[in-house]
């Protein structure tokens, strides 16, 4: 203080702020950054997700990150030395780059596929546990921003780990045996898998509303990570040693197509998971159902489209395979959708379709189990029809195969309509009062129903043959898997007409169930849209917060 | 939802069928609207009626004290107002915007300070505030300005670079308040901010709240101690077991209780006879005997007081001491609330 006094005494004209108030200076420095580099970083960070900025700052101070990072560098260096030393005598003509590359990739996979998703899970779970999520959701950040922020953090971590590996991988490229294409292929696999696992981890964390669920989900996540790591590590190894056109894929193009298609579907289901977790975290009266149905529908149609394309240009039997995928997609989605709560808040009513045209096509996006059921059944049917037509568009005319496929498609659709219809009715009867976990319970209910059907039909079949054989008989109709296995297109032999009978009986039983559900969904469809009040619209139109407060003061205080 | 069928006496309870939200009308009004409005707010947790038909309004620049014992439903109603929870029935409004239907617009205007403080590890005060400023969409100079203002207001600029985990309770409360007001909200909701603070920190907190109110911020502040808030509140609402028992200025509430005196009589002997005699008098209630002294509540003012004393002496009772005083705020609070918990 005395120093400041003396300065003031000597130089009275000097603006004294910096000397008098050293703390203000620190605050300013902390905020603006000290070096030019700091300043630029802080300037650029304006456009980044706040969660990314925050967690990066935290990570730079956390021991765990420093340790992982340091350890990675040490291991990479050790592996490089080992690899180079062991190949020194013949480094100029042996193609040892492949082994080195494989090693680097397997090292990278440990932080990328095992550590990063775990970090994402814990980060999201602790946010929800500690109540920090609530303080966050008070701000302008919506659940989707928060999830996106966590994904950004995972991506940034991956970039940092990859940048450690990058110079080494460049080194392997200088050695023989490694092409740029191989490196690119491998890195794309690593990146997509990391992001997908992180998204799954974040989604799992947002699904676990209780301690017990959190433990279950974290175990499932670890299992999933281990399985993925082991299977994909063998892929990475195969590609590293044999190039992109490895194994059964004779040319590189097939591998790239396979990678592209998988990446595409992984991305699609990441979108679905993203929508689900954004809907599940926090409490909200918003319409959370429609934003999930849209990616589900897109995914369903894309499955069908890819199937059609494959059937026309690659192999006609792809149609049957994609039909199965489509069925699985809608069966899983539908098992949850039919457990939705039927209640539509005022806020959700503002988003309902209005006008004849949008009501005609948009009504099935209205939240609720009834509309959801019809949405799933119709979407599945639409995709199936597209897939059924596709074999007709080829030059081959495999009529037998086509007829088999039609039966197969009808059976899949009927089973979905049947089981989901029963599930929706069951949820309506038994779980009507359930407020949380209703969708999950309904899904479990449908699975249990299905399991009971399988158990009963198998037992009956065994009993009818004195426990010697298991034959498909008429009482096996409720077992979807068995019936479908009987009429799966490539096995289809018109030996007896039991399968057709099964499909016919199923149709007779399913029709009333479908109609009953349709009737029940009528109450959701007639709900009228509520117009958003003008003042709310006007407020939402405003971007600038300062502007909005000014405006509201004007409105509130007419005397001012 | 069968357990909701048990209807309480008094205010009509909405029927279960309407509870699922057929109400929740869009109510956006434009002028002379209260900044905070709770309208027939209900929140049930199973059979617990955490908030049961609470309605009140707070106007611009006012400080509203929300007072009730633990478990009264203060936190629950404040969380609904802050869009962190949904009501079972009814709605809450900030500046005319519904917390249920337009939470985004409510959040722009509202700063909420919860009763607990959740920390992130590895962060200092300034980074913490910076993070929330970013979360409110503030960029560049705006953000720096906002952080400086907040640090200055809360007096945290001296410890801006300190890790949060090492802060004292008082400093944490300041940081929490700073976080809640970083986006300059027009409404501040503070849930038991004085809880666990030392007297000095309490006074400083009160000064901060009063300053904010003077600048036009509307404040809703809760406490389980009426006297703690009485000085700074323009209005108080007393809540117990989810029900709002009284609303008004402290004076108004005191006035509804006026006409009551607390009287203490110490006789030389004959306590039992005096007690019987008193219990037959009109206007005497809440009779209690405590050692030598007899306590009771007397309806009326000084005239009734002197009349009672005169007739006591005329009846020949040996009175040593006769003292009467108007009820204190604590008495008022004790009288309004029943002390029952759910
Ligand atoms: N999430 C919850 N689940 C069940 N009961 C709750 C929940 N939150 C609050 N309650 C109950 O609601 C009542 C009111 O609680 P609260 O609003 O926290 O009271 P206050 O803040 O006035 O002390 C209490 O009986 C409490 O047990
Ligand atoms: Mg509380």
What is the secondary structure of A56-125 as a DSSP string? HHHHHH-HHHHHHHHHHHHHHHHHHHHHHHHTSTTTTTS-THHHHHHHHHHHHHIIIIIIHHHHHHHHHH
DSSP B196-250: T--HHHHHHHHHHHHHHHHTT-EEEEEES-HHHHHTT-SEEEEEETTEEEEEE-H
- Shortest distance, CA B61 to any CA of chain A (angstroms): 12
Query: Of the spans A23-32, A46-55, A295-304, A349-358, which averages the highest pLDDT?
Result: A295-304
Contact A348, A436 (CB under 8 A): no
Structure tokens at A213: 């669920």
- How far lies A16's CA from each of A6, A8, A433, B151, in Å? 12, 7, 68, 20
- Kind and range of the H or E element at A432? none
Q: Read off the DSSP letter of residue A233.
A: H
Ordered strands of the B260-267 beta sheet = B284-290, B293-299, B260-267, B319-326
Q: Where in the sequence of chain B do the CATH 3.30.70.100 domains occur? A: 257-335
Beta-carbon separation of B120 and A433 below 8 A: no
Contact A288, A214 (CB under 8 A): no
B50 lines ligand 1 (CB under 6 A): yes
Residue of B nearest to A348 (CA): B101
Residue A136 touches chain B, beta carbons under 8 Å: yes
DSSP B28-41: ---SS--SEEEEEE
Q: Is the pLDDT of residue A200 over 80?
A: yes
Q: What is the rounded CA–CA span in Å between residue A150 and residue A133?
A: 12
Structure tokens at B152: 């200055």
B195 lines ligand 1 (CB under 6 A): no
B16 vs A195, more confident: A195
β-bridge pairing B97-98 and B89-94: antiparallel
Contact A391, A319 (CB under 8 A): yes
Nearest atom in ligand 1 to B115's CA: 21
Using most ligand atoms within 8 A of CB, pick from B48, B65, B229 the residue to mutate for ligand 1.
Answer: B48
Tokens 């005494």 belong to A9
Q: What is the rounded CA–CA span in Å between residue B105 and residue B97?
A: 7
Contacts with B118 from chain A: Cβ below 8 Å: 130-132, 134-135
Q: Is the pLDDT of residue A285 over 90?
A: no
Provide the pLDDT for residue A556: 35
Provide the pLDDT for residue B19: 41
Please report, rounded to a whole number, the percentage of residues in chain B having pLDDT higher than 70: 87
Q: Which of A153, A175, A201 is nearest to A90 (CA)?
A: A175
Pick the CATH number of B23-254 from 3.40.50.300, 3.20.20.80, 3.40.50.10480, 3.30.460.80: 3.40.50.300
Residue B80 zone, left/alpha/beta (φ > 0; ψ -120 to 50; rest): alpha
Q: What is the rounded CA–CA span in Å between residue B318 and residue B267?
A: 6
Structure tokens at B254: 């005191």
Using most ligand atoms within 8 A of CB, pick from B47, B68, B69, B71 the residue to mutate for ligand 1.
Answer: B71
Tell me the pTM. 0.82
| Confidence label for A491 from pLDDT (cuts 50, 70 and 90) | low
Q: Is the pLDDT of residue A121 over 50?
A: yes
Q: Which of A376, A368, A378 is nearest to A348 (CA)?
A: A368
B70 lines ligand 1 (CB under 6 A): yes
Q: Is the pLDDT of residue A209 over 70?
A: yes
Contact A331, A416 (CB under 8 A): yes
Q: Is the pLDDT of residue A213 over 60?
A: yes
Q: Look at residue A151 and give its three-state secondary structure.
A: helix
Contacts with B120 from chain A: Cβ below 8 Å: 54, 58, 132
Burial (0-12, 13-18, 19+ Cβ within 10 Å), B140: exposed
Contact B310, B301 (CB under 8 A): no
Q: Is the pLDDT of residue B6 over 60?
A: no
Kindly state the average pLDDT of the residues B254-271: 80
Residue A258 touches chain B, beta carbons under 8 Å: no
Tokens 């505030």 belong to B129
Structure tokens at B30: 């434009």
Contact B281, B333 (CB under 8 A): no
Q: What is the rounded CA–CA span in Å between residue A346 and residue B82?
A: 18
Measured between alpha carbons, how far apart are the two ends of chain B, in Å? 19
Q: Which of B68, B7, B41 is nearest to B236 (CA)?
A: B68
| Confidence label for A93 from pLDDT (cuts 50, 70 and 90) | low
Q: Read off the DSSP letter of residue A14.
A: S
| Confidence label for A110 from pLDDT (cuts 50, 70 and 90) | very high
Q: What is the rounded CA–CA span in Å between residue A101 and residue A168?
A: 8
Contact B180, B112 (CB under 8 A): yes
Using most ligand atoms within 8 A of CB, pick from B49, B65, B73, B195 the residue to mutate for ligand 1.
Answer: B73
Residue of A nearest to B29 (CA): A535
Give pLDDT tens digits for A306-336: 999 888 887 777 888 899 999 999 999 999 9
Q: What is the rounded CA–CA span in Å between residue A312 and residue B154?
A: 70
- Phi and psi for B236 in degrees, rounded to 5? -130, 150
Pick the CATH number of B257-335 from 3.30.465.10, 3.40.50.300, 1.10.760.10, 3.30.70.100: 3.30.70.100
Q: Is the pLDDT of residue B24 over 60?
A: no
Alpha-helical segments (H) within A281-362:
290-313, 318-337, 346-349, 356-362
B342 lines ligand 1 (CB under 6 A): yes
Provide the pLDDT for residue A44: 77
Q: Which of A120, A110, A144 is nearest to A286 (CA)?
A: A144
Residue A46 touches chain B, beta carbons under 8 Å: yes
B331 vs A535, more confident: A535
Residue A25 touches chain B, beta carbons under 8 Å: no
Q: Is the pLDDT of residue A25 over 60?
A: no
Q: Which of A388, A134, A96 is nearest to B176 (CA)?
A: A134
| Confidence label for B14 from pLDDT (cuts 50, 70 and 90) | very low
Mean of all residue pLDDT scores within chain A: 82
Which residue, judged by its Cα, is nearest atom 3 of ligand 1?
B45
Contact B283, B307 (CB under 8 A): no
Q: Read off the DSSP letter of residue A136.
A: H
Please report, rounded to a whole number, the percentage of residues in chain A having pLDDT higher than 90: 34
Residue A20 touches chain B, beta carbons under 8 Å: no
- Shortest distance, CA B274 to any CA of chain A (angstroms): 59
Mean of all residue pLDDT scores within chain B: 83
Beta-carbon separation of A536 and B28 below 8 A: yes
- Shortest distance, CA A29 to any CA of chain B (angstroms): 11
Instruction: Count contacts between A and B (CB, < 8 Å).
Output: 155
Give counts: helices (H), strands (E), chain A.
24, 0
Task: Find the angle CA(A218)-CA(A224)-CA(A226) to the nearest 5 degrees.
Answer: 105
Q: What is the rounded CA–CA span in Å between residue A202 and residue A121?
A: 5
Please report, rounded to a whole number, the percentage of residues in chain A having pLDDT higher than 70: 86
Structure tokens at A334: 């539908």
Contact A122, A157 (CB under 8 A): no
Which residue, judged by its Cα, is nearest atom 18 of ligand 1?
B75
Provide the pLDDT for residue B4: 33
Provide the pLDDT for residue A289: 87
């Amino acid at each position: 203080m005395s120093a400041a006094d003396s300065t003031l005494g000597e130089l009275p004209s000097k603006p004294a702020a910096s000397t008098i108030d050293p703390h203000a200076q620190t605050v300013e420095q902390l905020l603006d950054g000290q070096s030019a580099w700091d300043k630029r970083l802080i300037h650029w960070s304006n456009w980044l997700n706040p969660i990314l900025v925050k967690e990066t700052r935290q990570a730079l101070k956390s021991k765990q990150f420093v340790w992982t990072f340091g350890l990675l560098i040490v291991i990479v260096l050790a592996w490089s030395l080992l690899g180079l030393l062991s190949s020194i005598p013949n480094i100029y003509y042996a193609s040892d780059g492949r082994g080195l590359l494989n090693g680097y990739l397997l090292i990278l996979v440990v932080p990328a596929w095992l550590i990063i998703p775990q970090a994402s899970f814990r980060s999201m779970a602790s946010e929800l546990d500690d109540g920090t999520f609530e303080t966050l959701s008070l701000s302008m950040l919506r659940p989707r921003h928060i999830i996106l922020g966590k994904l950004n953090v995972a991506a940034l971590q991956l970039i940092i780990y990859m940048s450690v590996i990058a110079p080494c991988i460049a080194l392997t490229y200088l050695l023989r045996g490694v092409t740029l294409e191989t490196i690119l292929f491998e890195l794309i696999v690593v990146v997509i898998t990391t992001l997908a696992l992180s998204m799954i981890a974040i989604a799992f964390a947002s699904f676990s509303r209780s301690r017990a669920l959190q433990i279950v989900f974290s175990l499932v996540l670890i299992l999933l990570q281990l399985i993925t790591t082991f299977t994909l590590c063998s892929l990475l190894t195969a590609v590293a040693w044999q190039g992109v056109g490895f194994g059964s894929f004779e040319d590189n193009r097939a591998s790239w197509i396979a990678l592209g298609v998988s990446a595409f579907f992984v991305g699609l289901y990441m979108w679905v998971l993203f929508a689900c977790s954004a809907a599940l975290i926090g409490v909200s009266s918003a319409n959370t159902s429609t934003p999930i149905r849209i990616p589900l529908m897109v995914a369903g149609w894309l499955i069908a489209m890819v199937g059609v394309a494959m059937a026309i240009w690659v192999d006609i039997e792809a149609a049957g395979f994609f039909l199965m995928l489509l069925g699985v997609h809608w069966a899983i989605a539908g098992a949850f959708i039919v457990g939705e709560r039927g209640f539509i808040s005022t806020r959700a009513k503002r988003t309902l379709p209005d006008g004849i045209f949008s009501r005609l096509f948009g009504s099935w996006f209205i939240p609720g189990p009834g509309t959801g059921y019809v949405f799933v059944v119709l979407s599945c049917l639409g995709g199936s029809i597209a897939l059924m037509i596709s074999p007709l568009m080829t030059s081959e005319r495999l009529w037998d195969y086509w007829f088999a496929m039609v039966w197969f498609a009808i059976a899949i659709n009927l089973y979905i309509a049947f089981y989901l219809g029963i599930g929706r009715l069951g949820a309506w009867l038994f779980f009507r009062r359930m407020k949380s976990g209703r969708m999950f319970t309904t899904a479990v209910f449908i699975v249990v129903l299905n399991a009971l059907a399988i158990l009963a039909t198998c037992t009956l079949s065994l009993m009818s043959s004195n426990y010697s054989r298991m034959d498909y008989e008429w009482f096996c109709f409720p077992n979807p898997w068995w019936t479908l296995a009987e009429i799966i297109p490539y096995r289809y032999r018109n030996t007896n007409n039991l399968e057709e009978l099964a499909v016919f009986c199923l149709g007779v039983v399913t029709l009333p169930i479908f109609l009953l559900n349709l009737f029940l969904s009528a109450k959701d469809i007639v709900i009228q849209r509520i117009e958003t009040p003008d003042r709310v619209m006007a407020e939402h139109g405003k971007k600038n917060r300062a502007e909005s407060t000014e405006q509201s003061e004007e409105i509130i205080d007419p005397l001012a | 939802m069968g357990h909701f069928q048990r209807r309480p006496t008094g205010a009509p309870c909405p029927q279960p069928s309407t509870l699922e939200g057929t109400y929740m009308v869009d109510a956006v009004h434009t002028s002379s609207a209260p900044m905070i409005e709770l309208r027939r707010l209900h929140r049930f947790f199973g059979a617990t009626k955490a908030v049961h038909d609470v309605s009140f309004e707070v106007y611009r620049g006012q400080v509203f004290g929300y007072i009730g014992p633990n478990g009264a439903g203060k936190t629950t109603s404040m969380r609904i107002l802050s869009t962190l929870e949904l009501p079972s029935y009814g709605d809450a409004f900030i500046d005319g915007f519904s917390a249920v239907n337009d939470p985004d617009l409510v959040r722009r205007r509202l700063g909420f300070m919860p009763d607990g403080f959740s920390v992130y590890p590895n962060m200092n005060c300034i980074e913490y505030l910076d993070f929330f400023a970013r979360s409110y969409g503030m960029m560049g100079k705006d953000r720096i300005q906002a952080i400086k203002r907040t640090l200055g207001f809360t007096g945290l600029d001296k410890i801006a670079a300190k890790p949060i985990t090492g802060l004292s309770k008082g400093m944490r409360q300041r940081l929490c308040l700073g976080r809640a007001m970083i986006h300059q909200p027009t409404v501040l909701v503070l849930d038991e901010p004085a809880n666990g603070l030392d007297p000095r920190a309490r006074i400083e907190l009160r000064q901060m709240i009063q300053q904010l109110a003077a600048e036009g911020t509307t404040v809703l502040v809760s406490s389980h101690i009426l006297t703690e808030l009485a000085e700074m509140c323009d209005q108080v609402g007393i809540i117990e077991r989810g029900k709002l028992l009284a609303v008004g200025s402290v004076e108004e509430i005191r006035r509804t209780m006026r006409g009551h005196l607390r009287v203490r009589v110490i006789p030389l002997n004959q306590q039992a006879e005096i007690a019987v005699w008193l219990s037959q008098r009109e206007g005497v209630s809440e009779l209690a005997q405590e050692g030598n002294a007899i306590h009771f509540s007397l309806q009326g003012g000084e005239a009734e007081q002197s009349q009672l004393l005169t007739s006591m002496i005329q009846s020949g009772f040996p009175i040593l001491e006769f003292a009467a005083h108007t009820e204190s705020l604590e008495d008022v609070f004790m009288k309004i609330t029943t002390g029952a918990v759910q």
